[in-house]
Amino acid sequence: MNQYETVFILTPVLSEEQMKEAVAKFESLLTKNGAEIVFKDFWGMRKLAYPIQKKSSGFYQLIEYKAEGNVIETLETELKRDERVIRFLTVKLDKHAVAYNEKKRRKAAEAAEQAN
């Protein structure tokens, strides 16, 4: 199993409930196809670098997971079909990227722990 991360941008006209429903749909699609979700992060509403479909902002979501290669094709097909998604990008992580992400999460957890 390889480790991947997918970042997708949802249209800003969605309510918070609709946005969470869309994210849950893609998470369940991954788990149904045998993927193991390692980490997920909601980046919130962000301004886009350039307008996409006449929209200048969107909800960013990151999902990091371990999966077989054929799962990516299924996920990307669903992302393309869903009209709530304006852009997406899937990247296969090498061992250095995996180590970097784990280190970054560990530091964030330690910082949050010290804040409490």
| Residues 79-98: tens digit of each pLDDT | 999 999 999 999 999 999 99
Grade residue 27 by pLDDT with cuts at 50, 70 and 90. very high
pLDDT surpassing 80 at residue 112: yes
Residue pair 63/5 in contact by the 8 Å Cβ criterion: yes
pLDDT surpassing 80 at residue 22: yes
**Residue 108: predicted pLDDT:** 86
Which residue segments constitute the domains of the chain, with CATH numbers given? 2-115 (3.30.70.60)
Per residue in 32-66, pLDDT (tens digit) is 999 999 999 999 999 999 999 999 999 999 999 99
pLDDT surpassing 90 at residue 111: no
CB atoms within 10 A of CB 103: 10
pLDDT surpassing 90 at residue 28: yes
| One-letter identity of residue 62 | L
State the Cα–Cα distance between residues 23 and 106, nearest whole angstrom.
24
**Residue 110: predicted pLDDT:** 87
Q: Report pTM.
A: 0.87
